[in-house]
Chains A and B, each alone.
Chain A
Amino acid sequence: MYDSIVSVDALSVELGGNPVLRDLDLTVAPGEIVAVVGPNGSGKSTLLRCVAGLQPPTSGDVRVFGRPPADDARFWGSVALLGDEPAWYPGLTAREHLELMGAVHAQARMTVDAALELFALEERADAPPLNLSTGQRQRLSLAATLLRPSTLLLLDEPERGLDTAFRAALAGLLDEYAGEGGTVLMATHDQDLAAIGRQVSPSGVSA
């Protein structure tokens, strides 16, 4: 067993000769919600990509569940990542994307009907995702991410395109997820969303 879900030690990343992250230390405990905050270009998304194993660090060490992150089925079986909008599968409706996500995981966290209701997508369930509005597509992405079982949630600006009311509902959903023992690491510009967890800035702990 491990004491921390995510452990980042002296992480530095340079992109095209530009230092994006410098000597960053971060530890995320099981069941904790951590919000990475800061202005555009401060390295929030880069940090998340390093934790997801999608960006190799220039120096330093990143460990998730006690080992370096790897882009393989074992890692993604425990980690759910929400970044930019995914490329939706052609020929499937919004509901079928959620059905697919439920079918490939043995123990889904909620039923498809419950997810559609929770994310206010019932009326648009039969629409291809590309026919949904930007906010609805973001809700569908969030529904797919939260429907599947996971131990660690990595969310890059989950509030993108969402209306104010749903941002508040999302905060509640993430709280509930953490209450079930899940860990959340998210990059966000939304102050209310960030307030539900411990806030860190890539340049140093801010709160």
Chain B
Amino acid sequence: MRTVRAYLRSRGRLPASLMDRYVSVFSLLMLIAVAGQPLSGMFAGLAVPADPARMGAGVALLALTLAGFLAAARAAGPVLLPGADASWLLLSPLNRRHLLGRTARVLLGVAVVAGALLGIGLLAVLGAPDQHVWRVLGALVVGVSAAVGGMALAVLGQASQSWRFWLTGAVAVLLVLAVVAVTGRLRTVLAIAASAPLPAVTAAAAGAALLSGLLVRQAWTSLDRIPTRALMAASTRAGHVAGAAVSLDPGALTWIAEDNHWRARKLGSRRWPSLPAPFALAWQDWRRLGRRPGRLAAMAATAALPAVLAQAGGSPAALGVAVLAGALAVAAMSTSGTRRDADNPALSRLAGVGLRPALAARAALPALLSGTWAALALAGVTLTATAPWAGAGHSLAAGGLLAGGSAWWLFGPLAAPALAAGALRMARRDPIDHSMPVLDTPGGAIPTGPLFWAATGPDLALLGTLPAAAALASAPADLTSFLVAQGVASVLVLAGYLWRARAGGGKAR
């Protein structure tokens, strides 16, 4: 394996020179010098007893984050190889564990970084009333063990079906833990955990590290047994991801996933409803959504996240971003017809429906979904603030919403047209323009093409939801003027977008 790697290196890029190594070390030292002070300040800030009423929501967010990490690891592979290695080396008689060793080390690095962040989150939730250094170390060890153990479980899941079952079980347990924690039923357990004596913290950290170590050992020995077809599939998927992210359009990724989903399904044709032409065209998105009830349920479940965030002590600004960005994401998931016609207008030309009537009809579903989602999310936040188990622990943001009365949910339906306009603009944006200038900043080069691409759509949604954003940030006592302004802004933004919409390329699609 070493011989092969050495040969490939000799044919590839030049080895790192002394100057390259000097620059790397210097950059690392600079990073430590710059980030050291804020980091130590942050840890010092965490060295206080945590608010017991916020612990439940905080643990729920951590459990959801870890569940998301495990799900992402499983979706990625996680063991994969660069396209060329997958094509040439994987099918050769080389030692499989040596071939995959480099990937394993990268996965370990990713898990350690994610685990450290998880540990800091754990410390922020449970606090450090005494013995700061040891509690910080304990939280970091538990966080890193959880992430590394989870990654090892994902690797084992790639090698065998039974381990895959355990991985699914772990994700399910984390989701249940999140639900139980957010309802406040774990308050006593968490209070005990937060004030646990040092020997108990040491024992928990040691136990987590031991379990994680065993899983890593098992995963390392299983590298030999991962089926080639699983590695090939993961590597091909990663190749698509890299290609789509670097050279083409991240939107291409969603088409790959979407097409694969429908290819594997057995469908039954149903009659098309008798509707006016633009609505008959737009019905495709309704039918597609009706055929994915799981996605619809997941969408509805995520409406509880802003309430969890508020309970965990999220700032009003964070709460506003969570509600509006979440509603925009929900709206964007129901614009597949618009996206497909923007990418390839052959079917829309055959349909012969005007662009503006088609867009107006296609705005109905994203408006309905985003409006309902935002209304549920805001109602959840206000309900959480008044719930008996929330006690005095609801956040400043939820408290602010409480002061505004129970009319907050109205921002959902009133912001819906603007969110739908933003989602349609996202669906019709051009691919990333890589010819746009690259800004040289002290922090590194920033390509403006992806930035402009990412901002196309959210910009319009933000413009149309400014009154709601302002209300969420300032939490006024009287909402009437904000609600009226939101209704007017939404209608103006959607009407303006439809009026300016035109066929073909161009930035103002």
The answer to whether A90 has its CB under 8 Å from any CB of chain B is yes
A71 touches B346 (CB 8 A): no
With A73-B355, A91-B284 as contacts: A99 and B272 at CB distance below 8 Å: yes
Task: Enumerate B346-402 residues with CB–CB distance to A below 8 Å.
Answer: 346-347, 349-355, 357
A67 within 8 A of B: no
Task: Let me know if A90 and B259 touch, CB within 8 A.
Answer: yes
Residues from chain B with Cβ under 8 Å of A92 in the complex? 284, 287-288
Shortest distance from the beta carbon of B498 to any chain A beta carbon, whole Å: 14
Among A71, A81, A83, A100, the most chain B Cβ lie within 10 Å of the Cβ of A100
A126:B350 contact, CB within 8 angstroms:
no
Q: Given the interface contacts A100-B280, A104-B281, A130-B259, does A77 sit within 8 Å of B269 by beta carbon? A: no
Which residue of chain B has its CB nearest to the CB of A88?
Answer: B347
Residues of A within 8 A of B503 (CB): 71-72
Known: A73-B355, A103-B277, A104-B352. A87 touches B346 (CB 8 A): yes
Residues from chain B with Cβ under 8 Å of A139 in the complex: none
The CA-CA distance from A81 to B437 in the complex, in Å, is 38
Given the known inter-chain contacts A76-B349, A81-B349, A93-B267, please indicate yes or no for A87 contacting B343, CB distance below 8 A.
yes
Which A90-145 residues have a C-beta within 8 angstroms of B? 90-97, 99-106, 125-128, 130-131, 144-145
**Contact-size category for B:** 35 or more
Instruction: Verify A103–B350 contact, CB threshold 8 A.
Output: no
| CB–CB A86/B267 < 8 A | no
Contact among B263, B272, B357, B504 for A100, CB-based, below 8 A: B272
**Is A14 in contact with chain B by the CB < 8 A criterion?**
no
B347 A86 Cβ-Cβ under 8 A: yes
A186 to chain B, nearest CB (A): 16
CB neighbours of B268 from chain A (8 A): 93, 126
Return the contact of A95 from the options B269, B292, B337 (Cβ within 8 A): B269
* Distance in angstroms between the alpha carbons of A131 and B259 in the assembled complex: 10
Complex interface: chain A residues within 8 A of B267 (CB): 91, 93, 126-128
Q: A87-B340, A100-B284 are in contact. Are A73 and B269 (CB under 8 A)?
A: no
- Name the one of A73, A81, A89, A93 contacting B337, with C-beta atoms under 8 angstroms: A89
CA distance A106 to B284 in the complex (A): 18
- Point out the residue from B271, B291, B355 that lies within 8 Å of A91, measured CB to CB: B291
Expressed in whole angstroms, the Cα–Cα distance for A80 and B351 within the complex equals: 9
From the candidates B263, B280, B346, name the one contacting A104 in the complex (CB within 8 A).
B280
Give 1 or 0 for each of A172-183: 1 = CB within 8 Å of chain B CB: 000000000000
Q: In chain A, what residue has the closest Cβ to B344?
A: A87
B459 interfacial by beta-carbon distance below 8 Å: no
Shortest Cβ distance from A102 into B: residue: B272
Tell me, rounded to whole Å, the shortest Cβ–Cβ distance linking A37 to chain B.
23
**B262 close to A76 (CB less than 8 A):** no
- B214-273 contacts to A (CB < 8 Å): 258-259, 261-263, 265-273
Residues 152-187 of B at the A interface (beta carbon under 8 Å): none
Q: Is the CB of A96 within 8 A of B270?
A: yes
Q: Once the chains bind, are B262 and A90 in contact (CB under 8 Å)?
A: yes
Report if B336 contacts A (CB, 8 A): yes
B274 within 8 A of A: yes
Inter-chain CA distance A91–B314, complex, in Å, is: 38
Min CB distance B285 to A, Å, is: 8
Q: Which of chain B's residues have a CB closer than 8 A to the CB of A148?
A: 350-352
Q: Which residues of B contact A126 (CB under 8 A)?
A: 266-269
Cα A105 to Cα B336 in complex, Å, equals 22
Other contacts beyond A92-B287, A104-B352: 6, CB < 8 A: A72-B503, A80-B350, A87-B346, A90-B340, A103-B277, A126-B268
CA distance A91 to B287 in the complex (A): 7
Report the interface size class on chain A.
35 or more
Bound-complex Cα distance A188 to B51 (A)? 75
Closest approach, in angstroms, between the C-beta of B176 and any C-beta of chain A? 31
Interface centre among B273, B281, B343, B357 (most CB of A within 10 A): B281
| Interface: B439 (CB within 8 A) | no
In the complex, chain B residues whose CB is within 8 Å of the CB of A83: 346
**Whose C-beta in chain B lies nearest to the C-beta of A70?**
B503
- B352 / chain A contacts, CB cutoff of 8 Å: 73, 76-77, 104-105, 148
A24 and B503 CA atoms in complex are apart in Å by 28
- Inter-chain contact A103/B274, CB cutoff 8 Å: yes
Which 5 pairs across A and B sit closest by C-beta, in order of nearness? A91-B288, A86-B346, A73-B354, A87-B344, A99-B272
- Residue of B whose beta carbon sits closest to that of A100: B272
* CB–CB B350/A144 < 8 A: yes
A84 within 8 A of B: yes
CA distance A23 to B272 in the complex (A): 47
Q: Can you report 13 residue pairs joining A to B where beta carbons are below 8 Å apart?
A: A76-B349, A76-B352, A77-B352, A81-B350, A84-B346, A88-B347, A89-B340, A90-B262, A100-B283, A102-B272, A126-B267, A126-B268, A130-B259
In the complex, which residue of chain A has the Cβ closest to the Cβ of B266? A126
> Is there contact, CB below 8 Å, between B353 and A73?
yes
Q: Any chain A CB within 8 A of the CB of B455?
A: no
Chain A residues within an 8 Å CB radius of B18: none
Q: How far is the CB of A55 from chain B (nearest CB, A)?
A: 12
B280 near A103: Cβ-Cβ < 8 Å: yes
Which residues of B are found within 8 Å of A106, using beta-carbon distances? Answer: 277
Q: A94 contacts which chain B residues (CB < 8 A)?
A: 269
Whether B8 is near chain A, meaning CB under 8 Å from some CB there, is no
Contacting A89 at CB < 8 Å: which of B266, B277, B284?
A: B284
Residues in chain B near residue A84, CB distance under 8 A: 346
Q: Say whether A128 contacts B265, CB under 8 Å.
A: yes
Q: How far is the CA of A91 from the CA of B265 in the complex (A)?
A: 9
Contacting residues, chain B, for A130 (C-beta < 8 A): 259, 262-263
Instruction: Report A-chain residues with C-beta under 8 Å of the C-beta of B273.
Output: 103
Q: Are A99 and B271 in contact (CB under 8 A)?
A: yes
Closest to B290 in A: A91
Measured CA separation A85–B344 after assembly (Å): 10
Which residues of the partner chain B approach A72 to less than 8 Å between Cβ atoms?
354-355, 503
Complex Cα spacing A77 to B281, Å: 14
CB distance from B503 to the nearest CB of A (A): 5
B6 at the interface (CB under 8 A from A): no
